[in-house]
A and B are shown apart, each in its own frame.
Chain A
């Protein structure tokens, strides 16, 4: 594990879903908690997310997914991160994530899952823990 003074986070909205309230308010909350936050904007392909994450040299990618497609999206992105050597970046995911999917996501290699309803404090703590 690595320690960080200031965590750089990419909050990203993959795919076609446009419900961005969660992504935006989490971006604001992480920024207020002292992190550097980049917000991807809507309708991002996984290639675009990979590109932004690399260019901005982020420490964490935070995906916001509401459509129910979190399992296939995370699986694919993790594959791409491995393939393209983005192995020192943590992948986290938040949104409408049923409880029973959390172990599946973790097994896949998702570092943290932040399902809807979790507090900002819960998310910040979870992110910080990755670097302790």
Chain B
């Protein structure tokens, strides 16, 4: 049943429950469990808004402010995306989370041969600042913050965002952007990497350094346990690996002579709410506590606000099924409940049709309404951390903490995250787990409603399923339009400015100077994403993935 292991007796009663992170769950919990675990209120919880923040980052949590909703949005050309952004904002969404198409994510222009068939397909196509200006036209960039889901070329998109804001009359001090910018995660799962590990990490370091100095309201990195979990990691590994990745970025930036205190407060996180409800809640509570403890004890961070694990806790796509897709609406609601009970500052849901393709406006709004119901109808804003003090939840939170630390120690034993990814240890471990989990799903050991009702493989033949949900359609015209816009841009821009800004970028990339100010200049000159990424490709080369067997 579910993603946990349930061992039953001959009459079907549950004898044993083991969560994915490896924690055995008892039939009942009492005060003796807390005593055995050495639980104390001051040490393990603290008041809401107080160190170690297990309960909440803010004393009043959702009473003072409901969560930010940020549905992942973007497709086609910037015009289509702008329209959808406005629809979501008009319907109460208070942040953006921008989806880019694969050519943009991989640093190719829309007219590159490798972009064929992909322009505007899984996100919007961006070639130059012109496209960014269109995508964000009429969006109040001083009030609406934007997550930019891009990694290998996140530095370029951060520069685009700043340049767009400047062109529309905002100052770089007013804008708030959170590029995903977590390249090490991308090498474990999701796969939109370009450059070798050390250069990838250097670009992340450049963006953090730049944000510290120039973009006071932006958060240059969103550490994504989310995709690591989607790739097959357990909930404990999801947190552990994200923290070990964070340590790799911290090392890069401190080597530039910047103190952790000056930048760790700018990190944000993106975590997954897929799986067993209780395990998720314990995971988030343990993660907030461990992050604060680690920054305080290992990095000497003292300012309370800089110890916050701020993040988007969102519904996981791998929980959705193609079979009986409407079931995903209910699944999303339960994931969102988990996120709310965990005190997520920001949230989003995969829409119910996303097992097929990117969402229609109807399904995206359904997700938004689901999130609203929790805050405005059901009572999740009433009181802070309502599960605190539960014998079960507090015991589980302590056990989760132990499991996360164990997983972190394993990575340290392997020589840290950069090494573990370079030699493929993590990727192999996670893929192997994904395989074992999938086998369990197919054998009926794990249960997914609507997918394996009898637990027989025959019922999972998705090739025979009938879909009657309306689906988002890809439009070939988007690629044609992007290409013709690009052609026009190349003919009308100031070539001299483009060349000189790209030459300066090349010099910075090949040396140690921060690339960010040069990227901003390139963007203002209407250099294309492909041109800027091309400079990086020449300077850094591309990553060779380690074997996964």
Q: Are A15 and B117 in contact (CB under 8 A)?
A: yes
Which residues on the A side are within 8 Å of B43 (C-beta)?
none
Chain A: interface residue total (CB-CB under 8 A): 37
Which residues on the A side are within 8 Å of B206 (C-beta)?
none
> In the complex, A43→B122 CA distance in Å?
16
Which residues on the B side are within 8 Å of A28 (C-beta)?
431-432, 435
Which residues on the B side are within 8 Å of A119 (C-beta)?
442, 457-458, 460-461
Which residues on the B side are within 8 Å of A20 (C-beta)?
191
Residue of A nearest to B357 (CB): A68
Any B CB within 8 A of the CB of A67: yes
- A:109-132 near B, CB below 8 Å: 113-122
Cβ-neighbour of A96 out of B193, B356, B435 (below 8 A) = B356
Any B CB within 8 A of the CB of A85: no
**Segment touching A, from B15-23, B241-249, B411-419, B465-473:** B465-473
Residue of B nearest to A120 (CB): B442
Q: Are B190 and A122 in contact (CB under 8 A)?
A: no
Residue of A nearest to B112 (CB): A16
> In the complex, A21→B106 CA distance in Å?
19
Cβ-neighbour of A18 out of B121, B191, B322, B432 (below 8 A) = B191
B127 to chain A, nearest CB (A): 15
Which residues on the B side are within 8 Å of A27 (C-beta)?
548
> In the complex, A19→B115 CA distance in Å?
17
Any B CB within 8 A of the CB of A82: no
Which residues on the A side are within 8 Å of B432 (C-beta)?
28
Any B CB within 8 A of the CB of A45: yes
Chain A positions 34 through 60: 1 when the CB is less than 8 Å from some CB of chain B, otherwise 0: 000001011101000000000000000
Q: Are B121 and A118 in contact (CB under 8 A)?
A: no
Any B CB within 8 A of the CB of A25: yes
Any A CB within 8 A of the CB of B355: yes
Residue of A nearest to B452 (CB): A119
> In the complex, A27→B463 CA distance in Å?
20
Q: A15-B102, A25-B435, A116-B462 are in contact. List 17 more A-B contacts (CB 8 A).
A: A16-B102, A18-B192, A18-B193, A19-B190, A20-B191, A24-B435, A25-B434, A27-B548, A42-B191, A96-B355, A102-B463, A116-B355, A117-B322, A117-B460, A117-B465, A118-B463, A121-B442
Chain A residues engaging chain B, CB cutoff 8 angstroms: 13, 15-21, 24-25, 27-29, 39, 41-43, 45, 67-69, 72-73, 96, 98-99, 102, 113-122
